[in-house]
Structure 1
């Protein structure tokens, strides 16, 4: 990008739903200022718009410029941003089928001034689509991305990449751009300084392409980023795909997720194999946000082969991925199998639905080592609230909703949070996060060395350094500052 994006703090950030951790925006702020103080430089507040509990846990906003009043208002967002970075989602690909604009299109069809804002089959293929055109469209779920609807008395094939309740936008049209711009304006006025472009890879529908990460997608992302930079904000692009595609995307955007890291770390800790991590560290981009778990499932497309890059092997071979998925199912005592794929709605082809803690069999030592590896990998570390609290799969919530990803979206009440914060594995994570946030060595250079099942990561700035040494075969580890042991697999160092 030719312009200069604003700088942001690169310390750890929390990922949380306000209603599921804290109860609302004010409650989330109280946790960050209270028991979580000193651990995080920022927070990614998952969708808090109207409504936050729609068909896709807030990723189907009816009104993207309004805070759901059950959670607070924009003043509450502004107060949350005082002294910390706030990240929020700009849901650029779609809106709720219940949005007022689309409701007007349902009633009036092409007579509605909002009709050009929404995509139908003919919006992209005005001369009609061939079988080859339709078969080539990339989609994260089975079937074609269209829903038969009646618009103004006329039957139409409306473009719905994810679910029939989420109507895709035509970002080529001024109505759609003005809508997205109004969302960015509203957020940045409330102090949001990092914008997560949700599902942006699907926005560039072009004939003769896969309709995923096309030139139009890059052009739109660049336009949004420039608009955000003018408002003192940066953008994080959320794209799942082949790892080489991520490397390419990173060259054109502010920030990308390191979605390859979670399955590679799981593979290392369950198969005793650091070779894929070594290969990834050699090529991964530096402008990344690292995660172990998020509100979605654990991705495997990010380390595997992909139809988007035919002939290019992944970071893990197909047999390694199959073995990893089966180990996750075994470690979770089968609960992840009941939440994944055809076993649950909101079907995703490339994710295993499981908490990261259960994916490692509830093994505190292996889980803590996974977190330390994340914190020592270059990038901005984000920690999901369920992972922070070492949560188990919520099978009761899965049974209530039938949505596979809900196993990793537990609703914590106050007593549960307090109880979780007393667990040694949670206290150790907070200690590691505070170290990552405050130690000056993390502002310097990082060097990784692997040898068989052993690894060493050293951050150094000036004469100061911090080193993580570990062995994935038995999950032993130490964090040292010179001769001083800060943390070990035996117990966290005294505060």
Structure 2
């Protein structure tokens, strides 16, 4: 069988599963051919055969998360300014960049897309994106669940004419929507006057973000075309935004439905036969067990957001107890080859609380929320299945979230902040670091007041000259954070034991410590990653971690040899050690 015939049959199989309960206006064969044509996969010569269960990443991969205009300067396009900043301050630390939606938009800081095929003129143009792609692997957002109510597609829906006239999911006030999982408190249905009368458009997030109807195969085709266009412009990673809500069936919870998973598998098949190096990451801010299903059998997402990590790690560092983080870490299955975790502890959004449900008790979640509020955080709410208003997300800059403990603010803010990142950088998976974490940016109350949006607290826009003054001043906490963070990253990327798929084993230690062991794929390097997560000095007994005393061990972070004869190691408050039997020396910056 030819490569094209094999691929065509595989695409047909996906489509059969997706549309088995939908009456289509065309055959599955016609739809499969249209998808392959849109993707430019029309002959054997166009098709690459993806190697199964292959890891297209290693310990060198660090992803920065940033808006296109997180750093700006007068007289220059923000994307050019960002490029300059990255090359100047991050060239030895970051090799991939997630530029948050850089398309024309109407709300939600980019996630209400007006036009998927354009670059926001306020940021730059496609040439600026392509220049960035020459120096960094770029992650593009595929905002696949919804678009802006100001888009041409939705305007055509209102007119009931042209492309988009049947792209959007509708229901009626009489339909059973009682089970629908909601991430927001706004009404689900938006009353809209169209040329064919009043219709009620489904809006999972806001009334400016109108949900697509993927039972219409033209929507599936439209996004295949967008995917191909983004790859042509340099995308090496796709973040499927809010994809868990993609397929809707009335009378269900309308989240994580089988058709949603099959749509992801279909796009995975198309993408990997066009370019096997392109990676799909699913953004599914849902309870941990549900999130894990998006790996499929290494045939769905290459990577999933580790959404439980941010609330659990922050909780660990403010309570001084690693009990819940330990339990969660031990329960996490190793990612099989061809898949990995995407680890992050801060992002443009807040600290999601749904992924901590079942991991922290209601009382513990309440303490976490109260503590974050005392550090200046804002609390966003959602409507639960029972119609209750529940905390959904904590909006706070991570630097301020770690300014103290449940007992209040203290002097350990920077050390606690670095400790959090040292834990994340050592873990199985690919690390994602938000630009404002790299810079130690605090809460931006002025932006919250200006926008009226809680999430703005962690979306500061820096002027380049102001930022450079702070980063070049040794007395600035921004300088201290950037220096320590980049040094940690450079150490991490030199260790084979920190390959995203290297072996990981959680250590059973005192609750005031959090530790795990990593071993390189070739088994030549072992690293014990141990953090004191309390505000008191701790003396670790080396035999407690089964350290082989006949080997020579070095703390990679301090470059100090471990005195195994003494059998003890003192850890200062919030100190992390990476004890390795193979010392890859890192030159200071």
Fold match by TM threshold 0.5: yes
Shift of 1:283: 2.4
For the structure 1 residues 115 and 18, does the alpha-carbon distance in structure 2 shift closer, same or farther, using more than 3 Å as the test? same
Partner secondary structure for residue 65 of structure 1 = coil
CA distance in 1, matches of 2:330, 2:470: 37
Shift of 1:435: 1.6
Partner secondary structure for residue 66 of structure 1 = coil
For the structure 1 residues 494 and 224, does the alpha-carbon distance in structure 2 shift closer, same or farther, using more than 3 Å as the test? closer
For the structure 1 residues 199 and 420, does the alpha-carbon distance in structure 2 shift closer, same or farther, using more than 3 Å as the test? farther
Counterpart pick for 2:351 among 269, 292, 298? 298
After TM superposition, the structure 1 = structure 2 runs for residues 260-339 of structure 1, keeping only pairs within 5 Å, are 260-285=308-333, 286=335, 287-304=340-357, 314-330=358-374, 332=375, 335-337=376-378
**Structure 2 residue aligned with 1:359:** 401
Partner secondary structure for residue 95 of structure 1 = strand
**Kept in 2: contact 1:65–1:182 (CA 8 A):** no
Partner secondary structure for residue 201 of structure 1 = helix
Shift of 1:415: 2.6
CA distance in 1, matches of 2:98, 2:572: 29
Partner secondary structure for residue 81 of structure 1 = helix
User: Structure 1 stretch 195-204 or stretch 166-175: which is displaced more?
Assistant: 166-175
CA distance in 2, matches of 1:5, 1:62: 37
**Kept in 1: contact 2:167–2:212 (CA 8 A):** yes
CA distance in 2, matches of 1:203, 1:95: 12
**Kept in 2: contact 1:198–1:238 (CA 8 A):** yes
**Kept in 1: contact 2:294–2:301 (CA 8 A):** yes
**Kept in 2: contact 1:274–1:450 (CA 8 A):** no
Counterpart pick for 1:195 among 222, 232, 238? 238
Shift of 1:456: 2.6
5+ residue gaps, structure 2, are: 1-9, 11-49, 383-388, 405-412, 473-478, 541-546, 559-570, 577-585
For the structure 1 residues 348 and 396, does the alpha-carbon distance in structure 2 shift closer, same or farther, using more than 3 Å as the test? farther
**Structure 2 residue aligned with 1:428:** 484
For the structure 1 residues 475 and 436, does the alpha-carbon distance in structure 2 shift closer, same or farther, using more than 3 Å as the test? farther
Q: Is residue 445 from structure 1 mapped to residue 503 from structure 2 by the alignment? A: yes
**Kept in 1: contact 2:427–2:498 (CA 8 A):** no
For the structure 1 residues 7 and 449, does the alpha-carbon distance in structure 2 shift closer, same or farther, using more than 3 Å as the test? closer
For the structure 1 residues 6 and 85, does the alpha-carbon distance in structure 2 shift closer, same or farther, using more than 3 Å as the test? farther
CA distance in 1, matches of 2:390, 2:149: 20
CA distance in 2, matches of 1:228, 1:475: 50
Shift of 1:317: 1.1
CA distance in 2, matches of 1:457, 1:434: 20
**Structure 1 residue aligned with 2:140:** 88
Partner secondary structure for residue 118 of structure 2 = strand
After TM superposition, the structure 1 = structure 2 runs for residues 1-80 of structure 1, keeping only pairs within 5 Å, are 4=52, 7-10=55-58, 11-22=61-72, 24-51=78-105, 54-80=106-132
Partner secondary structure for residue 117 of structure 1 = coil
**Kept in 1: contact 2:311–2:352 (CA 8 A):** yes
CA distance in 1, matches of 2:80, 2:93: 18
In the superposition, the TM-score normalised over structure 1's length comes to 0.87
After TM superposition, the structure 1 = structure 2 runs for residues 140-219 of structure 1, keeping only pairs within 5 Å, are 140-152=183-195, 154-219=197-262
Partner secondary structure for residue 28 of structure 1 = helix
CA distance in 2, matches of 1:113, 1:427: 51
Q: Is residue 243 from structure 1 mapped to residue 314 from structure 2 by the alignment? A: no
C-alpha RMSD of matched pairs (Å): 2.6
Shift of 1:416: 3.4
CA distance in 1, matches of 2:399, 2:536: 14
For the structure 1 residues 5 and 83, does the alpha-carbon distance in structure 2 shift closer, same or farther, using more than 3 Å as the test? farther
Partner secondary structure for residue 67 of structure 1 = coil
**Kept in 2: contact 1:93–1:200 (CA 8 A):** yes
CA distance in 2, matches of 1:327, 1:236: 31
User: Structure 1 stretch 169-178 or stretch 11-20: which is displaced more?
Assistant: 169-178
**Kept in 2: contact 1:41–1:437 (CA 8 A):** no
CA distance in 2, matches of 1:191, 1:121: 38
**Structure 2 residue aligned with 1:307:** none
5+ residue gaps, structure 1, are: 123-127, 305-313
CA distance in 1, matches of 2:232, 2:130: 8
Shift of 1:441: 2.7
CA distance in 1, matches of 2:94, 2:163: 44
Q: Is residue 486 from structure 1 mapped to residue 544 from structure 2 by the alignment? A: no
**Structure 2 residue aligned with 1:255:** 303
For the structure 1 residues 281 and 428, does the alpha-carbon distance in structure 2 shift closer, same or farther, using more than 3 Å as the test? same
Q: Deviations over 1:378-405 (max 9, x none)?
A: 1010000111111111000000000110
**Structure 1 residue aligned with 2:392:** 350
Q: Deviations over 1:338-365 (max 9, x none)?
A: x6449xxxx9951011011111127111
In the superposition, the TM-score normalised over structure 2's length comes to 0.74
Q: Deviations over 1:207-257 (max 9, x none)?
A: 231011111211111122222222322211111111111222333432110
CA distance in 1, matches of 2:119, 2:391: 31
Partner secondary structure for residue 325 of structure 1 = helix
